[in-house]
Chains A and B, each alone.
Chain A
Amino acid sequence: MSRRTWVLINSAVLLLCLLGLWQAVVSLKHLPAYMLPGPTLVAVAIEERFPSLMKSLLITAEEAGGGLLASIIVGMTVAMVFAQWTWLRQLVYPYTILLQTVPIVAVAPLIINWVGPGLIAVSTVTFVICLAPIIANTTQGLISVDDNLIHLFVMHKATPAQILFKLRLPNSLPNLFTGIRISAGISVIGGLTGELFAGSAQVGEGGLGYAITYANNQMETSYMFALVLAATLLGFSFFFIVMFLEWMALHNWHESKRADVGE
């Protein structure tokens, strides 16, 4: 049996033990379901309300994913502009760092006020919190190019566009993916936060954040657990997708993706 399979089996056993312990505590202490439902009740809630759970999950995935994607496109563009014009970078860069420290909970109502409630507003909230890590990391990667490589390009009469796309951009890929990984993690938080403020056009319909507020008001604690689980899974799948893309882009050449590390 390979080491990897062994680790997987151990993790699965640990998970089962924890679930068992949880169920035991709930059953032995006779805790009411609205305080702490057992895993079986949560499972029942998932099964009974699976369609609406999936619907909420997809809505949030769309909002968070859309915001994340927009932040990657805009963030990369801004970083490339920064890399081309140093004076502009020096002028504007401090403000992009400021962007990172803006408390999103305070700004979200404003954004919704401007954009109007709904998918676009929630995506915008996500976009705002995802943008700074992308800009900061990509800019770093674009400007930290070996001086001699730049000299080499200059000696061979490379145009500024060639230096940007053939040298700076590939050089920044590891940093870009670091930024995307950070942003992917917080994009789900952005989506949920946005939904808490934006609410929904129809009662009972909406993303995970909206559904969590709703379930909380209705004291449907077991469904709340199901929603939290769904939100966690969503964040995890974003992270996993980014890790996969990163591996695809870097495994051939980048030191951090060496296949033989630790073997």
Chain B
Amino acid sequence: MVNVPEVVLQSVDKRYRTGAAALEGISFEVERGEFVAFLGPSGCGKSTLLRLVSGLSAATSGSVRVNGMTPDNARELMSFIFQDSTLMPWRTVAENVGLSLELEHAAPPLRSERVDRMLNLVGLTHVARRYPRELSGGMKMRVSIARALASRPRILLLDEPFAALDEMTRDRMNEELLRLYEEQKWTVLFVTHSVAEAVFLSTRIVILSSNPGRIAHDVAVDLPWPRTAEIRDSLVFEQTVTGVSRLLRGVMQA
């Protein structure tokens, strides 16, 4: 069997309806199991890039392939996690998590079993019957993650998912995400504007420049696994953050 990369972009351009270029000449491959963070100045098209992969938006030219298929055909493989938790306030936590299964008309026993498992995974079994307004920001984000995982995706697309959280909650969410990643072996595309977050989480960091968005750097992150909170205190972590920050500064000055 030929080993098809999980995500392939080939000379992708994306223009806004106004004609302004958002992304230009984007080419990269993501192998199965990689955790790729996308960093760049605001307005560099990081989020647009994720939307192209998810199929929510179409490339102006070039090709996007997910597991060898068009994004539209590969939708079952992917789940998207947005910057806000985007929960439906009229649904309980469990009903929010079960959304994708409900839309697919999964049998109720399967649905509730899977929802229970997902809530257990993110440690929210005790609030299954609560409504979103009763939860803290961090808990809402965990519900959002559980919802994304309920459809058993192979590829996770995360668009600055923890940007609205306080730093401590954010660090804890990062650790939880990594624990799940090591357990479930997804391929992850993660957009962020925090260098420390990108370094802590990813196996590889892609740095984009802006106006129009182009790939400026593509660096591997050589930090040991499993990554625990202590890694943040290590010298090699500091050095990596410094190195990536320098690259990012270079891009922003250009």
The B-contacting residues of A in range 97-119, CB under 8 angstroms, are: none
> Once the chains bind, are A156 and B90 in contact (CB under 8 Å)?
no
Contacts of B89 in A (CB 8 A): 253-255
Q: How far is the CB of B156 from chain A (nearest CB, A)?
A: 12
The A-contacting residues of B in range 208-253, CB under 8 angstroms, are: none
* Segment at the interface with B among A86-94, A127-135, A143-151: A143-151
**Which residue from A155, A158, A162, A254 sits with its C-beta under 8 Å from B78?**
A155
**Which residue from A157, A170, A258 sits with its C-beta under 8 Å from B90?**
A170
Contacts of B86 in A (CB 8 A): 146, 148-149, 152
Which A-chain residue is minimally distant from B131 (CB atoms)? A253
Q: Is A154 an interface position by the 8 A CB rule?
A: yes
Contacts of A239 in B (CB 8 A): none
> Once the chains bind, are A253 and B90 in contact (CB under 8 Å)?
yes
- Asked whether A258 and B133 contact (CB < 8 A) given A151-B56, A152-B80, A156-B103, the answer is yes
In Å, the complex CA distance between A162 and B146 comes to: 21
| B residues apposed to A, CB below 8 Å | 54-56, 75, 78-80, 82, 84, 86, 88-91, 99-100, 102-104, 131-133, 151
> Once the chains bind, are A157 and B133 in contact (CB under 8 Å)?
no
10 A-B residue pairs with CB within 8 Å: A146-B84, A146-B86, A148-B82, A156-B99, A156-B103, A162-B103, A166-B102, A166-B103, A171-B90, A258-B133
Contacts of A2 in B (CB 8 A): none
The 5 closest A-B pairs by CB, nearest first: A148-B82, A148-B86, A156-B100, A253-B131, A170-B90
Q: How far is the CB of A259 from chain B (nearest CB, A)?
A: 11
> Once the chains bind, are B54 and A155 in contact (CB under 8 Å)?
yes
Q: Is A167 an interface position by the 8 A CB rule?
A: yes
Interface size class of A (residues with CB under 8 A): 20 to 34
Q: Is A173 an interface position by the 8 A CB rule?
A: yes
Q: Is A5 an interface position by the 8 A CB rule?
A: no
Q: How far is the CB of B7 from chain A (nearest CB, A)?
A: 16
In Å, the complex CA distance between A180 and B85 comes to: 31
Which B-chain residue is minimally distant from A249 (CB atoms)? B90
In Å, the complex CA distance between A162 and B101 comes to: 13
> Once the chains bind, are A252 and B103 in contact (CB under 8 Å)?
no
**Which residue from A148, A158, A253 sits with its C-beta under 8 Å from B133?**
A253
In Å, the complex CA distance between A170 and B90 comes to: 7
- Asked whether A155 and B133 contact (CB < 8 A) given A162-B103, A253-B90, the answer is no
> Once the chains bind, are A148 and B78 in contact (CB under 8 Å)?
no
- Asked whether A170 and B79 contact (CB < 8 A) given A152-B99, A155-B54, the answer is no
In Å, the complex CA distance between A148 and B83 comes to: 9
- Asked whether A151 and B80 contact (CB < 8 A) given A156-B151, A252-B131, A255-B133, the answer is yes
> Once the chains bind, are A173 and B78 in contact (CB under 8 Å)?
no
In Å, the complex CA distance between A40 and B90 comes to: 50
Contacts of B56 in A (CB 8 A): 151, 154-155
> Once the chains bind, are B82 and A155 in contact (CB under 8 Å)?
no
Contacts of A154 in B (CB 8 A): 56
In Å, the complex CA distance between A151 and B151 comes to: 15
In Å, the complex CA distance between A148 and B88 comes to: 11
Q: How far is the CB of A59 from chain B (nearest CB, A)?
A: 38
